[in-house]
Amino acid sequence: MEHFPPYNYHLDQKLIGIDVDIIAEAALLLGVRLTTIPLSWPRAILGFEAGQADALYQVAPTPERFERWNMVGPMRRTQQAFAVRAEDPRQDALAYDRRAAAGYDLRLLAGHRVGVVNGFTYTPEFDRSAAFTREGSIDDLTSLRKLLLGRVSTVLGGSANLRYAARQLGVSERIRILRPALAEVPRYVSFRRDAPGNAKAGLMGQALAEMWLRGSIDRILAAHGEG
């Protein structure tokens, strides 16, 4: 995405972040020159599918994507978590029910307005649930603004993204990120299903496997205060 801290974002006109570092190290292992083009997520998907880029990252898993694209990885994992205002009387177990197979019973969110990012997928259960209303935004920072203004009662996002956005807004003490996380979701690098895409997917798979084996991805996550 064009601005998705701490995974990829611009600082002093330089593109940095966890995902940028992971992909850059994979390219170094493969001996290839890398050009990254940050776009809004919907435009990134359209550009990739139109052949304007060789690969797309970081991609959440869905059955349709696995069928349509080469999904290589995971390159890392994301904890999806709920956030509420600090004064919200609800406990961490907002929608958590140990009796539920997945740990969360999303019916307990009935009547809530939940902030999400437009175009994102979360978990299959969350994405298809009709128990609550979704309020889409362009990013997690905007979702947190809506939370503080009372336009949503809850936000769902990556824990790292929410923490970064809260620091950017100077409101870390005004929100709570609830535990346990809704899910830990792997993230992938996608290539098209054609001869060039298949070959590149095979090379990227080898590079990421070597990075996991070496501990390189854990090192990158730790360097950014994650993991």
Of the chain, the percentage scoring pLDDT greater than 90 comes to 64
Separation CA 135–CA 44 (nearest Å): 22
Q: Tell me the pLDDT band of 105, cut-offs 50, 70 and 90.
A: confident
Give the pLDDT score at 157: 93
Could you tell me the residue ranges of all domains in the chain? 9-77+186-223, 78-183
Minimum mean pLDDT range among 81-85, 130-134, 148-152, 221-225: 221-225
Q: What is the pLDDT averaged over residues 203-209?
A: 97
Separation CA 99–CA 109 (nearest Å): 16
Cβ atoms of 60 and 75 within 8 Å: the answer is: no
Q: Which residue has the higher pLDDT, 132 or 98?
A: 132
Of 206, 192, 162, 211, the C-alpha closest to 7 is 162
On the question of a common fold for 9-77+186-223 and 78-183, the answer reads yes
Q: Residue 49 pLDDT > 60, yes or no?
A: yes
Residue reference for tokens 């501990």? 215
Residue reference for tokens 């098209």? 192
Q: Which residue has the higher pLDDT, 190 or 88?
A: 190
Determine the 3-state secondary structure of 163 from DSSP.
helix
Q: What is the pLDDT averaged over residues 209-220?
A: 96
Q: Residue 45 pLDDT > 60, yes or no?
A: yes
Separation CA 67–CA 217 (nearest Å): 26
Separation CA 9–CA 140 (nearest Å): 13
Q: Which residues contact 15 (CB under 8 A, 6 or more apart)?
A: 8, 9, 36, 38
203: left (phi over 0), alpha (psi -120 to 50) or beta: alpha
Q: Tell me the pLDDT band of 73, cut-offs 50, 70 and 90.
A: very high
pTM: 0.78
Minimum mean pLDDT range among 81-95, 107-121, 126-140: 81-95
- Distance set, CA 179 to CA 70, 87, 91, 210, 222 (Å): 33, 16, 9, 32, 21
Q: Residue 93 pLDDT > 60, yes or no?
A: no
Give the pLDDT score at 211: 97
What is the DSSP secondary-structure string of 21-48?
HHHHHHHHHHT---------HHHHHHHH
Q: Tell me the pLDDT band of 101, cut-offs 50, 70 and 90.
A: very low
Give the pLDDT score at 83: 93
Minimum mean pLDDT range among 37-41, 44-48, 67-71, 166-170: 37-41
Fold classified for 78-183: D-Maltodextrin-Binding Protein; domain 2 (3.40.190)
9-77+186-223 — its CATH code? Answer: 3.40.190.10
Instruction: Look up residue 202 and give its DSSP letter.
Output: H
